Each structure stands twice: as structure tokens, then as C-alpha cells.
Amino acid sequence: MKKLGRTGQRVLKIIHIFFASLWVGGAVTLNAALLLLGPAETMGELLGYNYAAKLIDDAIIVPGAMGCLITGVLISGLTPWGFFRHRWVTVKYVMTVVCIVVGIVVLGPTVNDQPAITMELGVAAYADPIYHSNYVHCLLGGAFQLTSILFMLSISSLKPWQRAKLPAAPAAA
């Protein structure tokens, strides 16, 4: 496959890091809101929080994660990094896909269901078993995602586990 020139590789890397920043920022914000915001006192407050969480998921976390995957595939195909030549890149593929699946199966539904429950019950939603179960799943799924993303951020920077026979890395793009 034809490879990108130096400028093209640099632009692609900047776009990749932009999406990574979206994902990290969205995940930190969602976790901070879950852990640090005190209980809402009115239905309006709780609904505002529910919609803010949904917005962060839909408009920041999902595009960030999908953008990382798509630009990661493009970097693999269009630069000398390749798909599975470096273990840290393979690990990022596996972890990114696992995080996206956890996001779709565990996190998405929990964030999407909450506004309707709050509309029906107001702050009594806190005592609703489905609302509470969604909250716990969001807390656990969110912690898992954030830990995984921070690990991926670290290995992106350190680029560990290089195999001796392969060139360490292409010239800095």
C-alpha cells in the first residue's frame, strides 16, 4: 500500500491525538460528574445532569473512541507503523475494540435510560432499582474505560515491547 509523505503522516497523527484527547477528556468528565456531584435536590437538577451525561457520551466519548479507531487504522495502513508489527499497536487495537464494545453494551444504555426515569419519578429516581443499577454499571464501566484509556495513552507515548529484529520506529513524522 502506498504510504503517506511526511506532512501527511504528521497531519494524520495530529487528528489521531485530537480524537484521543476527546476520548480522555470525555471519560474524565463523566467519571468526575459521577463521583463528585452531590445528590440533586430537584427534578430539574437531576434531569440537567442526566442530559449532560448523555451529551458527553454521544457528542464527545463516542466520536473520540470511533475517531481513535478509524485514524489508528489509517495510521497503520498509510504509514510504516503497520497493523501488527509492534506489540504496543496490537495491544491498542485489542483494548480500543474492547472499550468500544463495553461502551456500547454497558455504558450507552445506562446513560440513555436515565432521563426517562427521572422525568417519571423526579428525585425519587434515586430509589428506583433500574436507575440505581444503571448508576452502578456506569460507575464500573466508566472506571474500566478510564483506566484502559490512560493505559493506552501511556503505551502510545512509551512505545514499549519493541521487537529487536524490527526497526524501532519510522523517522519522526
Under the rule (CB under 6 A), what is the footprint of ligand HEM?
A: 9, 13, 16-17, 20, 23-24, 68-69, 72, 75-76, 79, 81, 89, 92-93, 96, 149, 152-153, 156-157, 173
Q: Do residues 70 and 47 touch, judged by C-beta distance below 8 A?
A: no
CB of 42 to ligand HEM, least distance (A): 36
Q: Based on CB atoms, which residue is closest to ligand HEM, 81 or 131?
A: 81
CB of 36 to ligand HEM, least distance (A): 22
- For residue 34 the three cell numbers come to 459521577
- From CA 11, how far away is CA 63, in angstroms rounded? 18
- From CA 150, how far away is CA 16, in angstroms rounded? 15
CB of 51 to ligand HEM, least distance (A): 25
Q: What is the DSSP letter of 83?
A: S
Estimate to the nearest angstrom the gap between the alpha carbon of 66 and the chain centroid.
8
Q: Based on CB atoms, which residue is closest to ligand HEM, 31 or 48?
A: 31
C-beta nearest to ligand HEM: residue: 72
CB of 135 to ligand HEM, least distance (A): 25
Q: Based on CB atoms, which residue is closest to ligand HEM, 23 or 131?
A: 23
- From CA 88, how far away is CA 61, in angstroms rounded? 22
What is the residue whose three cell numbers read 524490527? Answer: 166
